[in-house]
Amino acid sequence: MSSLPQGSGVLLSEDDTSYEGEFSDDWTLSGKGVLTMANGDYLEGSFSGEWGSGLKVTGSYFKPHLYDTDKDKTPAVKLGRLCVCAEDKWQAVFEECWSQLGCEVPGQGDNRRAWDNIAVALTTSRRHIHTSPELLSRSHSRTLESLEVIPQHDGPITMERHHIIHQYLIKACDTPLHPLGRLLESLVAVYRMTYVGVGANRRLLPQAVNEIKSYLSRIFQIVRFLFPDLPEEGGVIPEPSSVVTDQKESGSTDAPLESPKPARVVSSSALLLPVLLPRLYPPLFTLYALDKEKEDDVYWECVLRLNKQPDLALLAFLGVQQKFWPVSFPLTTPGEKQQVLSSTKDVCFASAVETLQQISTTFTPSDKLQVIQLTFEEITQEVQALLQQDFLWSMDDLFPVFLYVVLRARIRNLGSEVSLIEDLMDPCVQHGEHGIMFTTLKASYYQIQHEKVS
């Protein structure tokens, strides 16, 4: 059984009333503390009694928003300051992984010895499997066999080697017989124990997100120990510019020189989230859904009301220019089309709508951003076919069309999807094309919440 709260602590209720102070036991307030209401008013003094059953208070009542001009004097409950820092959690789990790699101190040891230890562990496991073949599936046995081939772990990192490392990590994390796989299995177990059941509380979302970011940085430290030439977080891998080099060497001027491709930014998110996040997604997304419940309910109510309108009425209501209104849509029979009537529903920009709906079937921010990009491409292709010419969007033209697609996609927890992407997206894409597209989706979500229906 877990011990009952005693000493100093913070107690939060569902209506955002909070108490920070002293407890005796069995949720009994006993001693000095501060009781803060949801509107910011607070009581400061001595408290006694059980929470929810009537409290005796000797102290002072404050209404800071009326009488207190000094905001620094207003007590505020800072959630998380009494929690264990994410970087300090589950240190023993990570130390065990480092120990399996032959390092008494994390990050300090012989790289070659670490690979030898990995090879011995996998070989021993395979021998055990041969004597007891029922212990492991055939596909798992093939995974172990491929992991016994030690990848090149020194020398310059190219895009090809980065891809090989990525594929190796996927296989390594897929079996608990590899030190990295055992580490991941343990982290998934403790994460679920922390944030499932009683831990599924919206106020624990910041801790849950910070814990995942901590996992990424600490696992990335292990990966860079195994592959020491891998650039640190934010480092770059230059793309090959063989075309330019070949042309310079040959002295040919017949063809225009091809510009070298931009460098690839190395990040723990791109390398490790694809293997980590799918395993942690259910408890994490539950926390997002709880945290965004009120906003998502307002958004969803508006989505349901607006979706009662037929296509042409909704396009007009959202301010989509008539030149972007599809006048016909393809039928199942190849080559046949049917006219869009005033009563037609759910056929305009249907391919873009279906594409955007796939955002709920993906796990990582990069995959969700890819869905958003494909949605924009579907919209553009349909408009180009309609206008029968290449077309360059302005945001004034694009946003109403994209808003229509978001409404028709009917994504139930769109606010949760937006928040997850925002919290865990790779920083290097925030100001690029994907960042702009994500901002458009985020703006659509807020626009729908405040849309007025006549």
In sign, the C-alpha dihedral spanning 78, 83, 88, 93 is negative
In a domain, 254, yes or no: no
Would the pLDDT of 327 be above 90? no
Over residues 346-355, mean pLDDT: 93
In sign, the C-alpha dihedral spanning 271, 290, 451, 407 is positive
The tally of CA atoms less than 13 A away on the side-chain side of residue 263 is 11
- In this prediction the pTM is 0.82
**Same domain flag for 276 and 353:** no
Which of the residue ranges 50-54, 303-307, 381-385 has the most confident prediction, judged by mean pLDDT?
Answer: 303-307
**Same domain flag for 344 and 228:** no
**b (16+ CB within 10 A) / e for 56-88:** ebeeeebebeeeeeeeeeebebeeeeeeeebee
Q: Which pLDDT does position 453 carry in this prediction?
A: 47
> Which amino acid, one-letter code, is at 16?
D
The domain of 227 spans 87-248+260-285
* More confident site: 415 or 151: 415
**Same domain flag for 200 and 226:** yes
Domain boundary among 39, 65, 82: 82
Would the pLDDT of 233 be above 80? yes
**Same domain flag for 276 and 140:** yes
Residue 400 banded pLDDT, cuts 50, 70, 90? very high
**Same domain flag for 196 and 97:** yes
Domain boundary among 41, 67, 82: 82
What's the number of domains the chain is made of?
Answer: 3
Chain mean pLDDT for the chain: 84
In a domain, 253, yes or no: no
102-116, 246-260, 261-275, 382-396: least confidently modelled range? 246-260
> Which structure tokens are listed for 440?
């458009």
In a domain, 1, yes or no: no
| Euclidean distance between CA atoms 318 and 309, whole angstroms | 11
Q: Which pLDDT does position 448 carry in this prediction?
A: 94
Tell me the DSSP string of 205-266: HHHHHHHHHHHHHHHHHHHHHHSTTSPPTT-EEPPP-HHHHHHHHHT--SSPPPPPPPPEEP
In a domain, 96, yes or no: yes
* More confident site: 268 or 244: 268
Q: Which pLDDT does position 454 carry in this prediction?
A: 42
Instruction: Find the CATH number of the domain harbouring 299.
Output: 1.20.1050.80
In a domain, 394, yes or no: yes
Q: Are the beta carbons of 102 and 114 closer than 8 angstroms?
A: yes
Would the pLDDT of 10 be above 90? no
Would the pLDDT of 195 be above 60? yes
* More confident site: 61 or 68: 61
Over residues 388-396, mean pLDDT: 83
**Same domain flag for 156 and 140:** yes
Q: Which residue has the tokens 């990295």?
A: 180
Q: Which pLDDT does position 35 carry in this prediction?
A: 83
3-state secondary structure at position 343: coil
**Same domain flag for 66 and 96:** no
Over residues 310-337, mean pLDDT: 80
In a domain, 320, yes or no: yes
> Alpha helices, DSSP H only, in 307-432?
311-317, 350-357, 365-387, 395-409, 414-424
**Same domain flag for 329 and 230:** no
Q: Which residue has the tokens 């607070």?
A: 42
**Same domain flag for 226 and 169:** yes
Which of the residue ranges 84-88, 326-330, 351-355 has the most confident prediction, judged by mean pLDDT?
Answer: 351-355
Would the pLDDT of 299 be above 50? yes
Q: What's the chain's length in residues?
A: 454
Q: What angle do CA 293, 296, 297 make, to 5 degrees?
A: 85
Dihedral Cα 138, 143, 146, 151, nearest 10 deg: 180
Residue 24 banded pLDDT, cuts 50, 70, 90? confident
**Same domain flag for 193 and 105:** yes
| Distance in Å from the first CA to the final CA of the chain | 56
pLDDT tens for each residue of 12-23: 777 778 788 888
Q: Which pLDDT does position 17 carry in this prediction?
A: 81
**Same domain flag for 143 and 271:** yes
Instruction: Tell me the CA distances in angstroms from 213 to 273, 311, 360, 376, 425, one per residue in order.
Output: 10, 43, 22, 29, 11
**b (16+ CB within 10 A) / e for 265-284:** bbbbbbbbbbbbbebbeebb
In a domain, 255, yes or no: no
Would the pLDDT of 333 be above 70? no
| Share of residues in the chain with pLDDT > 70 (%) | 83
What backbone torsions phi and psi does residue 336 show, to the nearest 5 degrees?
-95, 145
In a domain, 358, yes or no: yes
- CA 273 from chain center: how many Å? 8
Domain boundary among 67, 82, 97: 82
**Same domain flag for 319 and 244:** no
**b (16+ CB within 10 A) / e for 234-251:** eeebeeeeeeeeebeeee
> Which amino acid, one-letter code, is at 135?
L
Q: Which pLDDT does position 2 carry in this prediction?
A: 42
Residue 328 banded pLDDT, cuts 50, 70, 90? confident
Over residues 94-112, mean pLDDT: 92
| Euclidean distance between CA atoms 322 and 386, whole angstroms | 11
| Euclidean distance between CA atoms 316 and 314, whole angstroms | 5
Listed residue (328, 322, 330) closest to 340, CA to CA: 328
Would the pLDDT of 167 be above 60? yes
| Share of residues in the chain with pLDDT > 90 (%) | 48
| Euclidean distance between CA atoms 420 and 284, whole angstroms | 9
